[in-house]
């Protein structure tokens, strides 16, 4: 069994053994399968794409085929411990609403997204004059699934405006590693941001 991608490994570290997890946009179920085997979690995946749903089901995972833009109405308040949304927030129509729904359904939410504030994205747009294509944003403007790109600062502002508490944040480069430059200036040098969030207490 191959090791988890480094960003998924960070997510896995944040999830308590034996907890209940809802993995939104679960893809082929790599993370949920790992958590089930290594941490004894229970839970569900939600995925839209047919081939990915089939691949996750072949792993023996319970997967619901659904468009996340339809919301999470079928899940009760506080029905899971953690809701995960990995590299999918930027592809949904209503990211703010989905984030709030995640924190209704789960005690905490883990969100990861590509950082549009990364220097390569800034340079391609500001100097080269075209929409950015990077490791974290690999699609061209005409075939991208991404419709709501944001920066780390944008996401921080969204959390503040909606009473969302950021418990942990990790920012990684194109190889999913951290370094001193990213820690100093995450919005400029980070390509992928990972957030662990809860509902605010005040």
Query: Tens-digit pLDDT profile for the chain (202 aa)?
Result: 457 889 999 999 999 999 999 999 999 999 999 999 999 999 999 999 999 999 999 999 999 999 999 999 999 999 999 999 999 999 999 999 999 999 999 999 999 999 998 888 888 888 888 888 888 778 888 888 878 899 999 999 999 999 999 999 999 987 778 888 888 999 999 999 999 999 986 4
pTM score above 0.85: yes
83 forms beta bridges with 22, 109
Q: Which residues contact 94 (CB under 8 A, 6 or more apart)?
A: 69
- Evaluate whether the domain defined by 6-115+149-199 bears CATH number 3.10.520.10: no
d(CA 96, CA 80): 20
Residue with tokens 């001193």: 180
Which 8-state DSSP code applies to residue 100? H
């Amino acid at each position: 069994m191959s090791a988890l991608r480094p960003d998924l490994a960070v997510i896995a570290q944040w999830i308590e053994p034996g907890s209940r997890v809802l993995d939104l946009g679960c893809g082929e179920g790599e993370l949920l399968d790992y958590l089930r085997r290594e941490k004894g979690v229970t839970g569900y995946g939600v995925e839209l794409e047919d081939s990915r749903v089939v691949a996750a089901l072949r792993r023996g995972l319970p997967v619901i085929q659904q468009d996340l833009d339809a919301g999470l109405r079928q899940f009760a308040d506080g029905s899971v411990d953690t809701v995960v949304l990995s590299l999918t927030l930027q592809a949904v129509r209503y990211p703010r609403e989905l984030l709030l729904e995640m924190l209704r359904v789960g005690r905490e939410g883990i969100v990861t997204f590509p950082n549009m504030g990364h220097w390569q994205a800034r340079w391609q747009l500001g100097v080269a004059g075209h929409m950015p294509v990077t490791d974290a944003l690999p699609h061209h403007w005409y075939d991208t699934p991404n419709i709501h790109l944001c920066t780390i600062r944008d996401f921080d502002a969204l959390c503040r405006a909606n009473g969302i508490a950021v418990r942990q944040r990790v920012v990684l480069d194109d190889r999913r590693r951290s370094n001193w430059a990213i820690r100093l200036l995450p919005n400029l040098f980070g390509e992928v941001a990972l957030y662990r969030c809860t509902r605010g207490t005040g």
